[in-house]
């Protein structure tokens, strides 16, 4: 009979191969940094990188930020080939040139800001977004130059400007050159104001240092995402300087709104419509 001659699989010696018996789930789930909930990653992506449980806003890159704001996620990138030089031959734990090369390779960006033009709700705009992954979104000569060129395009084409900030401040590897960008951008934004073209500043987590002290807080409308850390010096530095305990929530966007440093806090899912309505108010 057939069952007498049926061959049995050989007995395997040693423990079973776990890779064969387990289901691959790595990368499909992520943990919310705020509520600790384990969330299906695709659900977070569909919710624009916002936790569906508690509303925590995950940090996102510059390219994704532009895709969320422009119509159909389509835009024309400008000045993508501009690269920082090492005028000071700066070396800390590694040479600045080496750090730049590593950043360009890991992020596929040439520097910490991406500038694009396109349509936002059928209105032509210039949008610049900083990327925290490139040396902490720090502002150096290239960031200053690319945003200045975006402002010049606004003046030439009579279009509004939107800047999305996410930065640790001025780039220490460029010394005074990075600090000069604060004055350079402030002067350029004054030209935009004199031309009566609106500038909307969006502050995300974190926006600190020289970026906060210059263009991030100079918008005709300054808005922030919920829970964003916004300030000049960090809370620990301030506490050590004044030798006092800071109030709870200090330097978070809700605290700043309450004390008059922001005009509004807008959830990421509502941000595009909010900016569109604001531009309609400014430009009619």
Please choose, from the candidates 36, 86, 95, 68, the residue with its C-alpha nearest in 3D space to the C-alpha of residue 267: 68
49: exposed, middle or buried (Cβ count in 10 Å: 0-12, 13-18, 19+): middle
Contact 266, 274 (CB under 8 A): yes
Q: 137 is written with which tokens?
A: 């979104």
> What is the per-residue pLDDT for 26?
64
Give the three-state DSSP class for 141.
Answer: helix
Please choose, from the candidates 66, 57, 100, the residue with its C-alpha nearest in 3D space to the C-alpha of residue 266: 57
- Rounded to whole angstroms, the Cα distance separating 173 from 193 reads 31
Peptide bond into 206 cis (omega under 30): yes
> What is the per-residue pLDDT for 133?
98
What is the residue-wise DSSP string for 20-78? HHS---TTTEEE-TTT--EEEHHHHHHTTSB-TTT--B----HHHHHHHHSGGG--EEE
- Rounded to whole angstroms, the Cα distance separating 199 from 165 reads 13
Give the three-state DSSP class for 243.
Answer: coil
Alpha helices in the chain (DSSP H): 2-5, 18-21, 41-46, 62-69, 96-107, 141-157, 175-194, 209-212, 235-242, 253-258, 268-283
For residue 97, give Cα distances in angstroms to 84, 89, 101, 111, 167: 9, 8, 6, 12, 20
Domains, the chain, in order of start with CATH, read 28-58 (no CATH), 60-283 (3.90.226.10)
- Rounded to whole angstroms, the Cα distance separating 127 from 274 reads 15
- Rounded to whole angstroms, the Cα distance separating 83 from 99 reads 13
> What is the per-residue pLDDT for 27?
79
Strands 29-31 and 38-40: antiparallel
Q: First CA to last CA across the chain, in angstroms?
A: 89
pLDDT in tens, the chain (284 residues): 555 555 655 655 555 555 554 555 567 999 999 999 999 999 999 999 999 999 999 999 999 999 999 999 999 999 999 999 999 999 999 999 999 999 999 999 999 999 999 999 999 999 999 999 999 999 999 999 999 999 999 999 999 999 999 999 999 999 999 999 999 999 999 999 999 999 999 999 999 999 999 999 999 999 999 999 999 998 889 999 999 999 999 999 999 999 999 999 999 999 999 999 999 999 98
């Amino acid at each position: 009979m057939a069952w007498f001659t049926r061959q049995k699989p050989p007995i395997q010696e040693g423990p079973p191969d776990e890779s064969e018996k387990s289901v691959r789930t790595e990368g499909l789930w992520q943990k919310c940094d705020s509520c600790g909930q384990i969330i299906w990653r695709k659900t977070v992506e569909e919710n624009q990188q916002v936790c569906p449980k508690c509303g925590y806003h995950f940090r996102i890159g510059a390219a994704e930020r532009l895709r969320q704001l422009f119509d159909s996620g389509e835009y024309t990138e400008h000045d993508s080939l501009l690269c920082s030089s090492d005028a000071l031959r700066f070396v800390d734990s590694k040479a600045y040139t080496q750090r730049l090369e590593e950043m360009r390779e890991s992020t596929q960006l040439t520097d910490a800001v991406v500038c694009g033009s396109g349509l936002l709700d059928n209105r032509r705009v210039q949008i610049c977004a900083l990327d925290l992954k490139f040396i902490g979104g720090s502002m150096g000569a290239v960031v200053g130059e690319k945003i200045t060129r975006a402002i010049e395009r606004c003046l030439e084409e009579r279009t509004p400007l939107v800047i999305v900030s996410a930065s640790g401040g001025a780039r220490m590897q460029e010394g005074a050159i990075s600090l000069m960008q604060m004055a350079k951008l402030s002067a350029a934004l004054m030209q935009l104001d004199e031309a009566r073209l609106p500038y909307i500043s969006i502050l995300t987590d974190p926006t600190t240092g020289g970026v906060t002290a210059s263009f991030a807080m100079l918008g005709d409308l300054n808005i922030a995402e919920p829970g964003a850390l916004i300030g000049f010096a960090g809370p620990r530095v301030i506490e050590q300087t004044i030798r006092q305990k800071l109030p709870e929530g200090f330097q978070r966007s809700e605290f700043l709104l309450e004390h008059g440093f922001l005009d509004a806090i807008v959830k990421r899912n509502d941000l595009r419509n909010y900016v569109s309505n604001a531009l309609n108010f400014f430009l009619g």
